[in-house]
Chain A
């Protein structure tokens, strides 16, 4: 309740949140609100300019850019969120186990993390996609493989930090069950840090998926995806520069919204922060 109040009071956070939620709703409702079929090719309308019929014009195959942008939310945003959620769950579970159990198991997991983290992430993603083959599933898998270690590390160090706090010592001294300590003490404290990181990182994942689609490794044509749309538009960058503008702006807005929301959440989720 208090949290909602703080969120509403923080204008930037509110605007970012509204943008993201609107995007999600638009993505879900895409089949109902899109004026055209995103994959319907109409060569006569090739590079059509902005008009009342085609709000954002048409691309090199005469497909309606506005409809493609709407459908693109599904591939770009939803796949990024899916990737993020899986990464967070995998990373936190491993990090929690590692930090809570300590000992030999912790040592093994952490050395594995060290190995994962010592590769440059882009190279690692390219390598994994190279091995598994081109396609969006493999891009998602690659993103998770690259990122989980990062989250595990973060969660583990938080778990260790909080485990030393007196209130957890107290809980252990009076014999509180592990589930109580983890759910009531550890998770709420870690959640704040996790949400901030995840929000900031969603931008990174969106860019990554778009970038991989741009170079042809991720989402495959004719599926509408913002990175892929940019890639198709770049061929005619000099003749039809407007083709690149809209997918570019779409990516910019969403990534910026996630990044700014992450920054604001950092302030909001600090329990010591007084309501303005």
Chain B
């Protein structure tokens, strides 16, 4: 079976800010990253802030163009126009870190969740309502949330709404960019349990971008250690986590396990 997501030698650099006029100095953020992900697998990308992992996420989502290298989804190059226009795009979805900025403050929970549905599935009013209620239930919220505005919900509830939106069109792949990092510990556990459940139910392929190892050990079966724009170590099976070789990954593990 071909990999669902294939990242091939992707590089990305940015012009240094406020230097556009007088120089062309570039900062390389991603220095040649490659990996494959098969259907149903879950990859954790761990690295410190500023290591470029969020940029990698944006490249995978097609929000930024790589300088060189290609990203294939289901065998199709995501930088082409045919991909950009195809309905296949509904198979890629995302959940972001900052749940407050992740939703339009003028939208109700129902409108937020319905966004992908409205774009890809033309549902009748009744079906749409039913679908939204099913999705709310799937993420552990009841139908009383239907008309709520973002500022009337707590962080955990809002992140659940974001997850409902992400799974609305039953995508094959979801990118979680620090999806639980800004929640407090007890809510984090609830969300992680929810994600583990959903993953089993929907046979999701996913990437977790995080700086927190516990999230990864809970959900992922592959780990990439990301350091200064490169994958310094790739672990295929979570059980081999203790056998890391790279000094950076070792240091990271020790700093966490040391507690």
Residues of chain A having any CB pair with chain B under 8 Å: 165-167, 169-177, 180, 184-185, 188-189, 271-272
Contacts and interface: CB of A to CB of B under 8 A. Distances in A.
Contact of B119 (A177, A185, A272): A177
B151 to A, nearest CB: 5
B212 interface: no
Contacts of A272: 105, 151
B106 interface: yes
Interface residues on B, range: 20 to 34
Given A185-B104, A272-B105, A172 B63 contact: yes
Interface string B19-58: 0000000000000000000000000000000000000001
B89 interface: yes
B139 interface: no
Contacts of A170: 93-94, 96, 102, 115, 165
B116 A167 contact: no
Contacts of A172: 61-63
Contacts of B165: 170
B195 interface: no
Given A189-B104, A272-B105, A171 B98 contact: no
A61 B16 CA distance: 69
B94 A173 contact: yes
Interface of B: 58, 61-63, 84, 89-90, 92-94, 96-98, 101-106, 112, 115-116, 118-120, 149, 151, 165, 169
A177 B120 CA distance: 11
Sorted nearest first, the 3 A-B pairs with minimum C-beta distance are A175-B89, A173-B61, A166-B102
A169 B98 CA distance: 12
Given A170-B115, A174-B92, A174-B119, 13 more contacts: A166-B96, A166-B98, A167-B101, A167-B102, A169-B58, A169-B96, A171-B115, A172-B61, A173-B93, A173-B94, A175-B89, A175-B119, A180-B118
B104 A175 contact: no
Interface of A is mostly: helix
A166 B101 contact: yes
Given A169-B63, A271-B151, A174 B102 contact: no
A175 B84 contact: yes
Contacts of A176: 115, 119
B166 to A, nearest CB: 8
A92 to B, nearest CB: 18
Nearest to A185: B104
Most chain B beta-carbon neighbours within 10 Å: one of A166, A180, A272: A166
29 contacts: A166-B96, A166-B101, A166-B102, A167-B101, A167-B103, A167-B112, A169-B61, A170-B93, A170-B94, A170-B96, A171-B115, A172-B63, A173-B61, A173-B62, A173-B92, A174-B93, A174-B94, A174-B115, A174-B119, A174-B120, A174-B169, A175-B89, A175-B90, A176-B119, A180-B118, A184-B104, A271-B106, A271-B151, A272-B105
A170 B112 CA distance: 11
Given A166-B98, A271-B151, A272-B105, A173 B119 contact: no
A189 B253 CA distance: 44
Given A167-B101, A271-B105, A174 B116 contact: yes
B109 to A, nearest CB: 13
Interface centre among B94, B104, B116 (most CB of A within 10 A): B104
A177 B106 CA distance: 19
B145 to A, nearest CB: 17
Nearest to B177: A166
Nearest to A176: B119
Nearest to B165: A170
A165 B94 CA distance: 14
Contacts of B63: 169, 172-173
A177 B118 CA distance: 11
A167 B158 CA distance: 13
